[in-house]
Each structure stands twice: as structure tokens, then as C-alpha cells.
Amino acid sequence: MTDIVRRTSREVFDPIRRFIEGDWESGTIRVEEFVDGTTQVVRAEMPGIDLEKDVDVSVTNGVLHIRAQREEKSEEKSKDGYRSEFRYGSFTRDIPLPDGIKDDEVTASYRDGVLEVRAPVPPQAETQSRKVQITRA
């Protein structure tokens, strides 16, 4: 009976745990985008990632591509038994960048579980506008 109660409580609280720890099973990466002066900034939440083997960042035709893989393993040993759980995930995110960004000027850094990609935004050509008269047809 104790095993059933323990398993049921795990199943009940598992969605809460995933929410707190970050839901790595959804297949997407949480990002925030903003402009800092003349630089487009994209920050991606990626805690516990090994940069050398688990992350790929590229820019193709004005689109930022972020790919990551994560492998997580947990084990619980007690006098009543042993429980092991493995979770694997692959995550991607494609983010369109402003027109005119040069692929070779895009930089990336990683700190405290956050990947930050920065791309200088070229100055926009001044556009002229004129009012268009509306006529009744």
C-alpha cells in the first residue's frame, strides 16, 4: 500500500516539479528578444547544458537557429528499493532577425544557464511617407 501512495503522490506532483525545473519535454526553448541600443539581443534559457557537445547556434538567411540536446538521469536508492529515471530531449528554436544583419557579426555567450546571442542591427535607411488621398468609389 505504501508503494501505491508513494507512486501516486509522485504522479500528482510531477507536473509541478516540471514547471519549477523547466519543462524540457515540450521541445521548445524559452527566449526573450529585445533591442539594446543598436544590437538585437536574444536570450535563451538553457540550464545544465554542456556547450561543447549539446548546443549548436547558427545563422542562415537572416534566421537564428538554436539547437540543444539534454540528457538527465536521476537515481533514488532506499532500503525499500531502487528507482532510476532517464529523460532525453532535443530542442530547437528559429528566430527571424532584422533585415540587413550580417551573419559573421553575430556573437553568442553563455552564463548562469542563459545563452545570449547578440547581432548588430544596421541603420535603417530613412523612409519618406506621403499621405494618400482616399476617394469614394
CATH code (residue 38): 2.60.40.790
pLDDT value for 32: 94
DSSP state of 75: E
- Taking CA 65 as the corner, what is the angle to CA 62 and CA 67, rounded to the nearest 5 degrees? 175
pLDDT band at residue 3 under the 50/70/90 scheme? very low
Are residues 35 and 43 in contact, defined by beta-carbon separation less than 8 angstroms?
no
Number of folded domains in the chain? 1
Is residue 111 domain-resident? Answer: yes
Q: How far apart are CA 78 and CA 55, in angstroms?
A: 35
Report whether pLDDT(88) > 50.
yes
Task: Quote the cell numbers at residue 62.
Answer: 537572416
Task: Return the higher-pLDDT residue of 23 and 66.
Answer: 66
Residue 67 lies in a domain: yes
| Residue at 73 is within a domain | yes
Q: Which residues contact 38 (CB under 8 A, 6 or more apart)?
A: 120, 121, 123
For residue 17, is it within any domain? no
Query: Do 81 and 28 contact (CB within 8 A), yes or no?
Result: no
The reply to whether 75 falls in a domain is yes
**Joined grid coordinates for residue 120:** 548588430
Q: Which domain holds residue 45?
A: 26-120
Taking 80 as the threshold, does the pLDDT of residue 13 lie above it?
no
Within a domain: residue 133? no
E-assigned strands of the chain? Answer: 31-36, 39-45, 55-60, 63-78, 81-96, 107-111, 114-120
In a domain, 128, yes or no: no
4 located within any domain: no
Residue 14 has pLDDT above 70, yes or no: no
Q: Which of 42-46, 89-93, 97-101 has the highest mean pLDDT?
A: 42-46
- SS3 category, 14: helix
Is the pLDDT reported for residue 6 higher than 50?
A: no
pLDDT of residue 94: 92
Q: Is the pLDDT of residue 8 over 80?
A: no
